[in-house]
Amino acid sequence: MIDPLPRIAPSAWDAAYCQTLNANTDIRLVQRLVAVWQAHGLPVPERPALDRLAAILLAWLGAYRWWNVPFRQEDLDWCTQIQHYIDDAASL
């Protein structure tokens, strides 16, 4: 697969991008991805920094999806989850 819109971003971006695209619950994809990296001996951020990064990415991408993918606004579960992401980031 080739990303048609490559960007420079933290590697956690991809997990948050996928999670805000379709997840109606907090599947903690960023944290799960980092756990895989850690299992392979790669350096990973401390848990508080990782959770903060995930909260910011999920809120930002959730707000972007709200604007960019309006048909998702018809999915109440998805909207509720996006609101949770935004609330979580606002409480940081």
Structural Rg of the chain based on CA atoms:
14
Q: What is the pLDDT of residue 7?
A: 74
Any idea what the Cα angle at residue 28 is, between residues 22 and 34, rounded to 5°?
120
* Least reliable range by pLDDT among 8-22, 28-42, 52-66: 8-22
Backbone angles phi, psi at 26, to 5 degrees: -80, 100
Q: What is the average pLDDT across 34-55?
A: 94
Q: How far apart are CA 18 and CA 38, in angstroms?
A: 20
Look at the block and give the residue holding tokens 């401390």.
46
- Please list, in sequence order, all residues whose beta carbon lies within 8 angstroms of the beta carbon of residue 4, skipping any fewer than 6 positions away: none
